[in-house]
Chains A and B, each alone.
Chain A
Amino acid sequence: MIHLRQSIVPMALFAAAAAQAAPVKIGLLETLSGPQASTGQTYRSGVRYAVEKMNSAGGWNGQPVQLVEFDNQGGPAGASDKLKAAIADGVQIVVQGSSSAIGGQITDDVRKYNLRNPGHEIVYINVGAEALELTGERCNFHHFRLTANAQMRTKVLVQGMKQVKALGTKVYSINQNYSWGQDMERAIVDNAQAGGYQVVEKTLHDVNKIQDFAPYIAKISASGAETVITGNWSNDLLLLMKAAKAGGLKAHFGTVYLDQPGNITNAGDLALGHFVAHTFNAEAGGSDGERFVADFTAKTGHAPVFVEPQAVYGLEMVAEALRHTKPANGQLDVNAFARAMETTRVKTPMGEFSMRAADHQLMMPLVVSMVSKDAKYKADGTDMGFKPVKVFSAEEASVPVQASCKMQRP
């Protein structure tokens, strides 16, 4: 279904209608144009579906929930501008997922705004930014991370691959040289003992600048590694895998972003036998999973892929918390909403979601899958799909609260 964003109701109308119930506005602050637009647009489609579901279940306070979309023009400065525009529009819940840099900007801007405007707080619902510091040094009462992080993903990836004996004892870590890649590298080293492997070498490379990964494949080959674990995404992952195939490298790949649309089509058969740690696999979701896929496909025209399920179920948490938040003076009290979020639990086809109050990290199940032709749901229009290897419950996938998180509660 293709539709334009909802219209903006001027602030004046709100003031005039103070006696009536005010609808809650959710602002989607995404990268909708420019080089990284594809991911932002994927989050958008998931969020749109979720908001429609909220409204068909009655909205909030007798009014439909309004979704307002903003294009952050691809960078933190644009995100900051659009956040101010969103606040001026009356948005109280800000949703973003495609970039950790933008996530960091938004969480700080939200914290400062709330400090300066007590009583008019806003909250940041993070559906995709996985940098560890967002629930570490930058943890913030008005930020909720509704996705995993590097530590969680690596933990389950290692356990999943070990279970099917695809891990081996020599692991090579190659990642992008920025916060996410560095988080992944640390996680890979941290899990060495639990996984029973030795990290033979660690490499960090420039982000999105390398076309030719052949030299890296040569290094991997020379190190004798049996498995390569990488947090690379987009071109960096695709080119790495293509170079691996071209060089005849016989190692298993454990990845986090293999299910990004376009990867499987482009990789073709060389993707077979590689692993991914992701948040949703319909095949492992049983009948609930099937129903979700069918409903999503009917409403949007395509099956849910990549980050769409986590956006949908993340907003499901938001919807559940909203249901338990009584309006105050006809409006949403964001602090009450946040407190409700901390105790919200939601059932999903993968398992139960719950929120950890200490750092506002979602306790969520994760699933490790392998690319195979036997998968029930095919990806990207090819004959391959992701076959679930193991589903890890929320407790199994969780990692402890970081010591650097000193959350200040209102």
Chain B
Amino acid sequence: MDALVFALLNGVIYGLLLFMVSAGLTLIFGMMGVLNFAHASFYMLGAYFAYALQGLVGFAPAVVLATVLAGAVGAGVERFFLRRVHRHGHAHELLLTFGLSFIVAETIKLLFGNQPVDYRIPPALDVAAFVVGSQQYPAYRLLMGGVALAMFAVLYLLLTRTRVGIIVRSAIYKPRMVEALGHNVQLVFMGVFAVGAALAGLAGAIAGAFYTTSPNMALEIGVMVFVVVVVGGLGSLGGAMLASLLIGVMTSFAVGVDRSLADLFAVVGARDWAEGVGGLLTLKLSSLAATLPFALMLLVLLVRPSGLMGSKN
């Protein structure tokens, strides 16, 4: 029972972390059709900014500043890079963001070195929240989850209840009409991109202290974020939340399952044959925990390509 509770809790918190990073990406995609390969780079930038500033201003102000800086970088990227290549088509935008992700990763390596850096949770926050059975549950994870939920709530309210939100949502569907009505759509695009980048930066600043902050951070989380966005539905905030939680919980539970397809065959008495065949049939689910999200993505793409909660268009 304890194990189940822990697995659920761990899965949910990890899923919320994925949501924090993918929320921005799904908004950017929904709005501008740009699949931003550099999104995970904003995550990494947020962590490094916070690390660099932590010594000067303390943890909480560093996190806030890192978020703002990441947003500024995002605005700059949109204004000076993406806008130029927008008219050449999706392939060029994608490749541009890919090149940018290279540049960001290599520049960070240049300035901070290849090793993981010493960016840690401040001792004040490094406490246990509660104890279940023999295991402690760290308070910082709950903080991460809390920030993610707050982010979701703020974004949702912004998009549905404020004037800015209405403009943003209508710009997703009918940008030319919105422009004709007198709104500065280019500014809206830049704003959305900046907010998306800032959210990823916030996620990085918070998670980087808990996990590791190294130049490979972007690569590590980058692919998973894509899986989340695709499974949830490109452009859907609720979909991103659902998909993140699903993937987080699935990965967490899979670790505890030491069974393979051969065990399934055992039900019909064909276990020995399955083990003789080997290969795919004897792979344990627990060792495939990080591979399952891709299988999920493939399944979703084939059965429901617009994602779990995406709109069909």
Interface set of A (CB-CB < 8 Å, partner B): 35, 37-38, 41, 177, 203-206, 208-212, 214-219, 221-222, 235, 238-239, 242, 246-249, 261-263, 265-266, 268
Knowing A215-B252, A218-B3, the reply to whether A238 touches B221 (Cβ < 8 A) is no
The answer for the CA separation of A41 and B109 in the assembled complex, in Å, is 13
Q: List 26 A-B pairs, Cβ < 8 Å.
A: A35-B215, A37-B114, A177-B287, A205-B255, A205-B286, A205-B289, A206-B288, A206-B290, A210-B290, A211-B14, A212-B14, A215-B7, A215-B10, A215-B11, A215-B255, A218-B256, A219-B3, A221-B135, A235-B212, A238-B212, A242-B211, A246-B140, A247-B136, A248-B131, A261-B115, A262-B115
Across the interface, name the chain B residue whose C-beta is closest to A202. B258
Contact A215 B256 (CB under 8 A): yes
Query: With an 8 A cutoff between CB atoms, is B162 at the interface?
Result: no
Knowing A206-B287, A246-B141, the reply to whether A218 touches B7 (Cβ < 8 A) is yes
Contact A218 B135 (CB under 8 A): yes
A34, chain B: closest CB distance, angstroms: 9
Kindly identify, within residues 129 to 167 of chain B, every residue whose CB is under 8 Å from any CB belonging to chain A.
131, 133-138, 140-141
Kindly identify, within residues 249 to 269 of chain B, every residue whose CB is under 8 Å from any CB belonging to chain A.
251-253, 255-256
Contact A249 B10 (CB under 8 A): no
| Further 9 A-B residue pairs, CB within 8 A, beyond A35-B215, A209-B220 | A203-B286, A205-B286, A206-B289, A215-B289, A216-B255, A246-B138, A246-B210, A247-B136, A248-B131
Across the interface, name the chain B residue whose C-beta is closest to A209. B290
Query: With an 8 A cutoff between CB atoms, is B272 at the interface?
Result: no
The answer for the CA separation of A210 and B113 in the assembled complex, in Å, is 22
Interface set of B (CB-CB < 8 Å, partner A): 2-3, 6-7, 10-11, 14, 17, 109, 113-120, 128, 131, 133-138, 140-141, 210-212, 214-216, 219-221, 251-253, 255-256, 284, 286-291
The answer for the CA separation of A265 and B213 in the assembled complex, in Å, is 12
Contacts of B251 in A (CB 8 A): 212, 215
Knowing A210-B290, A247-B138, the reply to whether A268 touches B212 (Cβ < 8 A) is no
Contacts of A214 in B (CB 8 A): 6, 10, 14, 141, 252
Across the interface, name the chain B residue whose C-beta is closest to A235. B212
Contact B135 A238 (CB under 8 A): no
A230, chain B: closest CB distance, angstroms: 15
Contact A266 B14 (CB under 8 A): no
A284, chain B: closest CB distance, angstroms: 25
The answer for the CA separation of A215 and B287 in the assembled complex, in Å, is 12
